[in-house]
Structure 1
Amino acid sequence: MKTDKMRAIEGNHMKRESTAILLRIFIGESDRYEGKPLYMHIVEMLKAEGIAGATVFRGITGFGKHSFIHTTSILRLSTDLPILIEVADLEENIDRIRPKLDEIINQGLITEEKVKIIFYDSDTTNKTSIVN
């Protein structure tokens, strides 16, 4: 009998569920750290720290603390579009990298929420860090 955390679906495909933390990091495209785009530095740091994964999104329009609208509009082409980095991993892994983020982010916003992870995998021998 399969548990709630792991169910076989169609042959060798597995569906696993777990609770994790979703971290959203809002920064600007022009933000830099040691001469490199900040978003790239953050992604490389997360990978080096063994975080399960991260995705970077580039916004087409947005505004922040100073209420200046950044946009891709041809009439007002911005060089500082909004960047969103999403990271989902176990709470202990997020807790471990949070101080490193505090050191490198000078201006931005981080949100954090508990989420349910539903992980589909056809390779049942591959275990990820976010699904028990």
Structure 2
Amino acid sequence: MRGQAMRLTVLVGDDLWHHRPVAHEIVHRAREAGLAGATVFRAVEGYGAGSRIHTLRLLSLADGIANLVMIVDTEERVREFVPRLDGLFVDGLVLLEPVEVVVPAPPRPRV
């Protein structure tokens, strides 16, 4: 995949959907939809609309840490996928951004 594409970024907490983490469910739905790929990143620290800091450094405050699910594919495929997120989570944020995919050339053999 090269050239113009769209990045779908979903920020969700540790919510569960049918006893499964929402981020996990999003990845599985993306795979079922045939999207190019999906990756989940777990936040180390942050805050949201309530301005309360959540961090992994203190176990008592680890509740509410965000997960970021990132998916990149063509704009058409990403936009077709977005409705599959409906009903998965209450609090979260869904971002759509145009991106350019660049694939670097492989390294040249050393002589």
Q: TM-score range by the shorter chain?
A: 0.7 to 0.9
Amino acid at match of 2:8: L
Match of 1:110 in 2: 94
Q: Which TM-score applies when normalising by structure 1?
A: 0.72
Report the Cα offset of residue 118 of structure 1: 1.4
Q: Which TM-score applies when normalising by structure 2?
A: 0.85
Secondary structure of the equivalent of 1:103? coil
Equivalent residue in structure 1 for 2:3, among 9, 18, 24? 18
> Equivalents in 2 of 1:86, 1:68: separation in Å?
24
Match of 1:37 in 2: 21
Equivalent residue in structure 2 for 1:47, among 31, 34, 44? 31
Amino acid at match of 2:89: I
Match of 1:90 in 2: 74
CA deviations 1:71-95 (Å, max 9, x no partner) are: 0123744132111111100011111
Report the Cα offset of residue 111 of structure 1: 1.1
Amino acid at match of 1:22: R
Amino acid at match of 1:100: R
Count residues in correspondence. 106
Report the Cα offset of residue 102 of structure 1: 2.3
Report the Cα offset of residue 120 of structure 1: 5.2
Identity %: 32
CA deviations 1:37-69 (Å, max 9, x no partner) are: 000011011011101001110010011122221
5+ residue gaps, structure 2: 107-111
Q: Larger Cα Rg: Structure 1 or Structure 2?
A: 1
Secondary structure of the equivalent of 2:3? strand
Amino acid at match of 1:89: D
Equivalent residue in structure 1 for 2:40, among 56, 64, 76? 56
